[in-house]
Structure 1
Amino acid sequence: MAQQHDAEGVLSRATRMLRSFSADDESLSATDLAHRTGLARTTAHRLAIELSGLGMLDRHADGRYTIGMGLWEIGELAPVSMRLRERALPHMLRLYEASSEVVHVAVLSGDDPTTAEALYVARVTGPHSIPTLSRMGGRHPLHTTGVGKALLAAQGDAWLDVFFRRTLERETVHSVIDERQLRAEIAEARERGFATTRQEMTLGNVSIAAVIPPTADLPPAAVGVVTHLARADERRLAPLVMTAARDIASSLESIAP
């Protein structure tokens, strides 16, 4: 029993170490890892070396560590990569070609509505697309992103009641954090089939998104575009986004187990 608890402890420490990395901190030293995990430096150093040997971390000539190719290889086996992203990409490319805007697919991450977020699993962009904060593997709030609001609109009222127990933070001065207003926007999104955000995540950006009809064994997902406020033609973009959502679902159904 003691061995079991010890093994669980090692796994927990290793997970905390791997989660110490971020888009802003791709490379960390053993000292950095010790500080971020609260582990003793000798423990962090020993665990980092072991993770490197397993391919979970890569150790570089300067002694710093990055996420390893072995971890990436395992991650690519996840259904959101092998099924959702691969089946969605052709339709995302068509949506990009029709709009010239950034195209995202995000999934609902987290079973607890009070901590759930939009996890971005696919992205298509080009030379004329507007810069965005999103990246593959990145997370953003549900209430300030187009894909996030589309995911909220797909949830039941009981789920939303729990969601609204959380404190909603502003990302910009335009972020909607009032429960009554956000519920009204969710209801509107359900009625018309797509959700929008206007400068709620990034100033000057508008997002239009639609939920992808559910597929067995995949988390709730949504597809959306992000455009500049000056060219946010909702009447043109919304039908394109909704068509992409339906087409992605059809492609997923064709390979359903």
Structure 2
Amino acid sequence: MAGNTRNAGQSVASRLLAILAVFDEQHSSLTLTELSAGSGLAVATTHRLVRELVEWGALVRTDSGAYVVGRRLWKLGMLASDQSDIRDIASPFLHDIYGATKATVHLAIREGDEVLYLDRLAGHASVPAVSRVGSRLPLHATGVGKILLAFAPAEVQSRVMGSLTRITPYTVTSPGQLGRELARVQRDGYAQTVEEMTLGACSVAVPVRRGDGEVAAAVGVVVPRLGRERVALIASLQVAARGIGRSLRESSAQ
């Protein structure tokens, strides 16, 4: 009763924001009960407001009945200066990579324990990929994801290592094997996958670093196979990554 009294003076906007505020990096998928408890709102009130958020596109109800942040809210988030800046800065470099390779090109950042795709270029000749702008995929099964995981905080690596889901028969699900791969990524400066996310699709990716050396994003390509062209792909990606990083430094200095 006390909780209802406390919430009685809240505006509709503040209640909606209270529900959205329950989502964070560790809680990206929440049930109605969890949203009610986290926001301090009654279940009936939460249900009504969540329904409105779903109708607007801010939230999406999954097949399991839980709720995740919707594409429309994500697009608003993309207007934030940090994400919009890196996407705008990276765009011409991504087009250069695509023009040279005709492969699917990705720009991604880490969002909690997943990869968040900020941009994607592909053509009719590109290998089909499950990624979409705004989509989230596992860190351990994608090229850009392995880059971001290799340079992520230890607690993120520990959580990911604790739940390595198998997506294809070739997905790395052994923590020991993945740990050795991440050590190699840190040493060699690139990551690769072979049909770990999608059968018939391989990927290679490199980090984008800010002026202080922090990994701000990852750029990668998806191709049907990684043969002798892998070296050339890595070189092309590294040139683009250095250009993006240099532009990020110049932008932050202005």
Q: TM-score, normalization: structure 1?
A: 0.72
Q: Is this contact kept in 1: 2:19–2:46, CA < 8 A?
A: no
1:79 aligns with 81
Partner of 2:119: 122
Give the 3-state SS of the residue equivalent to 2:93 in structure 1.
helix
Check if 1:140 corresponds to 2:142: no
Amino acid at match of 2:248: L
Does residue 11 of structure 1 match 2:17?
yes
Change over 3 Å in CA distance of 1:50–1:142 after alignment to 2 = closer
Q: Is the contact between residue 190 and residue 207 of structure 2 (CA under 8 Å) also seen in structure 1?
A: yes
1:15-94 paired onto structure 2 within 5 Å: 44=48, 48=52, 71=73, 74-94=76-96
Normalised TM-score (structure 2): 0.72
CA–CA distance in structure 1, aligned partners of residues 82 and 125 of structure 2? 27
How many residues matched?
A: 222
1:223 aligns with 2:219: yes
Taking the aligned partners of 1:76 and 1:51, their CA distance within structure 2 comes to: 20
CA RMSD of aligned residues (A): 3.8
**Residue 203 of structure 2: SS of its match in structure 1?**
strand
- Distance across 1 between alignment mates of 2:143 and 2:169: 16
1:108 corresponds to which residue?
110
Aligned letter for 1:214?
R
Amino acid at match of 1:189: V
Q: CA offset at residue 233 of structure 1?
A: 2.4
The verdict on how the C-alpha distance between 1:78 and 1:85 changes in structure 2, with shifts beyond 3 A counting, is same
Tell me how far apart the structure 1 counterparts of residues 54 and 164 of structure 2 sit (CA, whole Å). 40
- What does residue 23 of structure 1 align with? none
Contact 2:202 2:226 in 1 (8 A): no
Question: Which deviates the most, 128-137 or 80-89?
Answer: 80-89
Per-residue deviation, 1:229: 2.1
Match of 2:170 among 170, 174, 178: 174
**3-state DSSP of counterpart to 2:126:** coil
Indicate if the aligned counterparts of 1:14 and 1:47 stay in contact, CA closer than 8 A.
no
Structure 1 gap segments, 5+ residues each: 17-33, 58-66, 111-115
Is the contact between residue 210 and residue 245 of structure 1 (CA under 8 Å) also seen in structure 2?
A: yes
**CA gap 1:133/1:47 in 2 versus in 1, 3 angstroms:** closer
- Letter of the 1:11 partner, please give it: L
Residues 175, 200 of structure 1: 8 Å contact kept: yes
**Aligned pairs (5 A) from 1:210-249:** 210-214=206-210, 220-229=216-225, 233-249=229-245
**Following TM superposition, by how much is the alpha carbon of 1:165 offset from its aligned partner in structure 2, in angstroms?**
5.2
1:131 maps to which residue? 128
Q: Deviations for 1:44-75, whole angstroms, at most 9, x for unmatched residues?
A: 389629986xx969xxxxxxxxx797x57733
Quote the residue 1:60 is aligned against. Answer: none
Q: CA deviation at 1:3?
A: 4.0
**Cα deviation, residue 191, structure 1:** 1.7
Q: Is the 8 A contact 2:208 2:215 kept in 1?
A: no
* C-alpha distance after superposition, 1:138-166 (max 9, x if no partner): 0011100000001122235x346533552
Q: Is the 8 A contact 1:205 1:227 kept in 2?
A: yes
Q: Distance in 2 between matches of 1:4 and 1:208?
A: 54
Equivalent residue runs for 1:133-212 within 5 Å:
133-155=130-152, 158-159=154-155, 162-163=158-159, 166-212=162-208
Deviates more, 1:72-81 or 1:224-233: 72-81
Provide the C-alpha distance between the structure 1 equivalents of 2:137 and 2:47, rounded to a whole number of angstroms.
Answer: 32
> Which secondary structure state, in structure 1, belongs to the residue aligned with residue 251 of structure 2?
coil
| Secondary structure of residue in 2 paired with 1:201 | coil
Structure 2 counterpart of 1:104, one-letter code: H
Q: How far has the Cα of 1:79 moved from its partner? A: 2.8
